[in-house]
């Protein structure tokens, strides 16, 4: 008796169409975020817009004190809100945005009046200063504001007032 040879299973022919379609979809998914206008950041395909996009000149809101000779002195965060710099900055930003910088100025002035370290300060100003971020850290005059807006001004209350 002769034994029948086992036959190999029939091979399916390779089809290029589905492979090309899947490849095209993957390539499109990788390239699409870079072609959006405006670019949108998304995980896992990030275009790092925080580093690659052009930013406007920044407005920074501050409170500064002045002595009788008009010498400027920055007011520390602890007298604005608390010791946290970002919370103090946000407190000033919110007051400016809500159009209440005068109220904040008066509150900070009361704290300055109680602090002997700032006894020479006679008035405060809430200011918005515009800087160019490209020159702020690298050029000598980069820290000079390009524009300055005085949002509020208040006097430091005297004892017994």
Query: Average pLDDT, whole number, for the chain?
Result: 87
Mean pLDDT of 51-57: 70
Residue 41: pLDDT band (50, 70, 90) is low
Residue 125's pLDDT is: 98
Segment of 6-20, 25-39, 110-124, 128-142 carrying the highest mean pLDDT: 110-124
Q: Edge-to-edge strand order for the sheet containing 72-74?
A: 72-74, 58-67, 121-131, 147-155
Where do runs of H (alpha helix) occur along the chain?
16-35, 49-52, 77-80, 85-97, 101-113, 133-136
Is the pLDDT at 119 greater than 90? The verdict is yes
- Of 23-27, 49-53, 69-73, 75-79, least confident by mean pLDDT is 49-53
Query: Does pLDDT of 140 surpass 90?
Result: no
67-108 confidence digits (pLDDT tens):
999 999 999 999 999 999 999 999 999 999 999 999 999 999
Q: Rounded to whole angstroms, how far apart are CA atoms 128 and 148?
A: 6
Secondary structure class of 134 (helix, strand, coil)? helix
Determine whether 73 is exposed, middle or buried from the number of CB atoms within 10 Å of its CB (0-12, 13-18, 19+).
middle
Question: What phi and psi values does residue 49 have, to the nearest 5 degrees?
Answer: -65, -25
Domain boundaries, the chain: 17-52, 58-155
The burial of 27, by beta-carbon neighbours within 10 Å (0-12 exposed, 13-18 middle, 19 or more buried), is given as: exposed
């Amino acid at each position: 008796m002769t034994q029948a040879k086992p036959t190999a299973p029939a091979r399916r022919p390779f089809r290029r169409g589905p492979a090309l379609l899947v490849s095209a979809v993957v390539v499109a998914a990788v390239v699409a975020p870079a072609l959006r206008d405006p670019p949108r950041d998304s995980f896992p395909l990030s275009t790092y817009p925080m580093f690659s996009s052009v930013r406007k000149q920044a407005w920074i809101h501050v409170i500064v004190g002045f002595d009788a000779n008009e010498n400027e002195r920055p007011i520390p965060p602890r007298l604005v809100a608390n010791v946290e710099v970002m919370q103090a900055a946000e407190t000033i930003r919110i007051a400016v945005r809500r159009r209440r910088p005068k109220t904040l100025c008066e509150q900070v002035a009361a704290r300055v009046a109680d602090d002997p370290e700032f006894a020479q300060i006679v008035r405060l100003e809430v200011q918005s200063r515009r800087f160019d971020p490209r020159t702020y850290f690298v050029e000598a005059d980069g820290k000079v504001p390009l524009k300055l807006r005085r949002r509020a001004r208040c006097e430091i209350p005297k004892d017994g007032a």
